[in-house]
Chains A and B, each alone.
Chain A
Amino acid sequence: MQADATRFGTIFKTLKSASGSVALFLAIPALLYIFNASESFATISAGVAVFLFGMRFMEAGFQAFTGGMLENILKACTTGRIRSLLFGVVSTTIMQSSSLVSVITISFLSAGLINLAAGIGIVFGANLGTTTGAWLIAAFGLKVKISAYAMPMLALGIILVFLPGKKAKGAGDILAGLGFIFLGIAFMKDGFDAFSQGFDLTQIQVEGLQGILLFVLFGALATVIMQSSHATLVLILTALAAGQIDFQAAIALSIGANVGTTITAIIGALSANIQGKRLAVAHLFFNVVTGTIIIATIEPTLVVVETLSDFLGFSDTDATLKLALFHTLFNSLGVLLLTPLIPAMIPYLKRLMPVPRTPGLQPMYLTAATEAFPETLNTAMVQELARLYDNAIEIMAHGLHFHRRILFSHTLLHDAIKTSNDLITIDLDDQYAQRVESLSSAILETITRNVTRHGGDLEHLRAYQAACRSIVTCVKETKHLRPNLTQYIHHKNPYIRDKYNHLRVSIGDTIRAIDIIRNEPETTRETLGLEAIRVKFMQDDASASGELEAMIRDGKITARMGMSLLNDLRYTQSIIWALIDIARILFGETEEHHTDAERMLNLNEDDLSRLARGKS
């Protein structure tokens, strides 16, 4: 069944990529023909392309600042619905990209740093935040020759990009991105000016509700194609300024742009976890509900916009400012109506999209045949547990923000994280359910079944049971450790940052040491040396040495940070201790008298403490 599903998935993916290639193959000659036929269309398209290019630059630039500052702000600003909403408004206003804010929100939701209610609040706020872009473009972008600003921005941005340092490069990307966005707007404006002289879009307008729905569809399609509601909004504003469309059509197009951006988010959420999908649906719900209300009340809405425009002193001919006003009213209405409903939406979304119940990883080596004899059972059990361990290590590595190529490289981890220290998005709950829970349950079930059958081998089976439980513990403790780790490994406070990086490096070093032992020939392999990791950890333990208290007393870290660190030290210790136990059972000696011998030489807690105190 599972194999069929995988095969079907592969065929579907191949067909999807093939159809994409065919569409691209057909679209390129068609576009080339249109570019040749209409110079103004080519200019508009170039404007859209440069605008999107600028957006990509800006997104890349902001990502350079996502390693700490943004995360800390996010965590502090999302306690409560109103705060989340305001955060969405402010961050989108600053970044001028609701897509980037949505993507970051989805990644933090997946990381468990924020809850779904906060995520929905941010996305609703982001909708409101995009309206500031409309105001800026309507007020300045189409009246001032903004291409004049674009050039110095581009020049300065590119200089910064070539400077050393991640932050300087990020700032350069943002500045160059803004430059490209301004340049794109200028191109689009020129294109529409030329276009308006030869062709009149108003001629193809359809009257009534049908016409409105047609433009809503156009707006949504344009946004899906351009992957940016901002770009669509600029197109609408420029077309409106050039007199290519009337105000009602512009309103319908802007509603469509809002709906279209949710489709982009839904496509984006297809690869996200269930929380990301729920967020995308909440986003769609916001725009569809608000859009439907506006379409149903289009006449009174136009009256409200006209009245408010008069009140604000907009001239009758200034349709672009009126559209910016409408866009703000549209999104404000959505926020006012739907924000109080967020708590009610969450259970509904959870019912609508429950956590998928997938069969998860199943045993590969433990079969009825291998269970028949104690010897084959032991071999299969070790192989199955090693498989479970490998899955757990992969989840843990990503949970601790380590890429496996770094974790298993020959570079010292402390040095490696200085060059590759980006945050990794992973849904630990989902990964645990998929790759650990079902397999570990099956292993434990097999052990329980065989304890009575192969009573003579009880000792081995008990050891495997302990190893299995320790693997589960490692993944669970990593889940507990991850939120604070994510928050602090890029924190501006160097003391807490170092401590948290030290915690994950300690776990990473243990995983590495085990991997080395695992690959050693049996003649030289011994797991007793792993005790050195325990001794080193005990020596470094800031809580035991009083270092933690001193750090709080000296104001180097806050009491809250100290409390988090104290808890996380215990989680880290538990993970390291469990990893060593697992290594001994799975990768140490297998013959009974050898395991007995190793057990005899084991260092007990007193021995370990004595060695740890022997620090010079």
Chain B
Amino acid sequence: MKTRKIIDLLDSLLGGERTKRSRRELAVEELLHKLEKKENKLLERLEHIDTDDEDEKRHLEIKLQVNRAHQDKARQAISSWSGTKPEAETETEAQ
């Protein structure tokens, strides 16, 4: 959060040159970070779960699957931006 605010502040001082795309990219990175943290928490809970509690175990496993699916999507998006597409092009697209 703090990093984001500092970057936003700097951006406004520099006349708002940062593109909408890069802001979104940052947001996706931040989201990925949250998802990774959540994944660790889920794994920790799965490790300590009562083996008899099948329903809770299944519920956590689904959460983990969904979390990883979101992480995959986030990584795909980040790699597509950083790799192939030029910034100006994407900027136009985003607008």
Residues of A within 8 A of B (CB): 412, 414, 522-524, 526, 528-529, 531-532, 535-536, 539, 589, 591, 593-594, 596-598, 600-601, 603, 607, 611, 614, 616
Contacts and interface: CB of A to CB of B under 8 A. Distances in A.
Contacts of B74: 601
A411 to B, nearest CB: 13
A593 B23 CA distance: 6
Interface of B: 1, 20, 23-24, 26-28, 30-31, 34-35, 37-38, 55-56, 58-59, 61-63, 65-67, 69-70, 73-74, 77
Contacts of A603: 66, 69-70, 73
Given A600-B73, A600-B77, A532 B31 contact: no
B62 A539 contact: yes
B38 A526 contact: yes
A614 B58 CA distance: 12
B31 A601 contact: yes
Contacts of A536: 58-59, 62
Contacts of A597: 24, 27-28, 30-31
A216 to B, nearest CB: 63
B24 A611 contact: no
Contact of A535 (B27, B56, B66): B66
Contacts of B35: 526, 528
Contacts of B20: 593
Given A523-B1, A589-B27, A594-B27, 8 more contacts: A414-B55, A522-B1, A524-B37, A529-B66, A532-B67, A539-B62, A600-B77, A601-B73
A595 to B, nearest CB: 9
Contact of A526 (B26, B31, B55, B62): B31
A531 B38 contact: no
B27 A593 contact: yes
Contact of A601 (B28, B37, B58, B61): B28
Nearest to A597: B27
A603 B35 CA distance: 14
Given A594-B27, A597-B27, A601-B74, A529 B38 contact: yes
Nearest to B26: A593
- Residue from B34, B70, B73 whose CB has the most chain A CB atoms within 10 Å: B70
A588 to B, nearest CB: 11
A524 B65 contact: no
A611 B28 contact: no
A49 B27 CA distance: 72
B69 A607 contact: yes
Contacts of A600: 24, 28, 73, 77
Given A532-B63, A611-B66, A526 B73 contact: no
Contact of B34 (A526, A531, A616): A526
A611 B61 CA distance: 11
B1 A596 contact: no
Contacts of A412: 56
15 contacts: A523-B1, A526-B38, A528-B35, A528-B67, A528-B70, A531-B66, A535-B66, A589-B27, A596-B24, A600-B28, A600-B73, A601-B28, A601-B74, A603-B66, A607-B69
Nearest to B67: A529
Contacts of B31: 526, 528, 594, 597-598, 601
Contacts of B24: 593, 596-597, 600
B27 A596 contact: yes
A194 to B, nearest CB: 66
B42 to A, nearest CB: 9
A417 to B, nearest CB: 14
A589 B59 CA distance: 25
Contacts of A526: 31, 34-35, 38
Contacts of B77: 600-601
Q: Which 6 A-B pairs have the closest CB atoms?
A: A597-B27, A593-B23, A532-B66, A532-B63, A597-B28, A593-B24
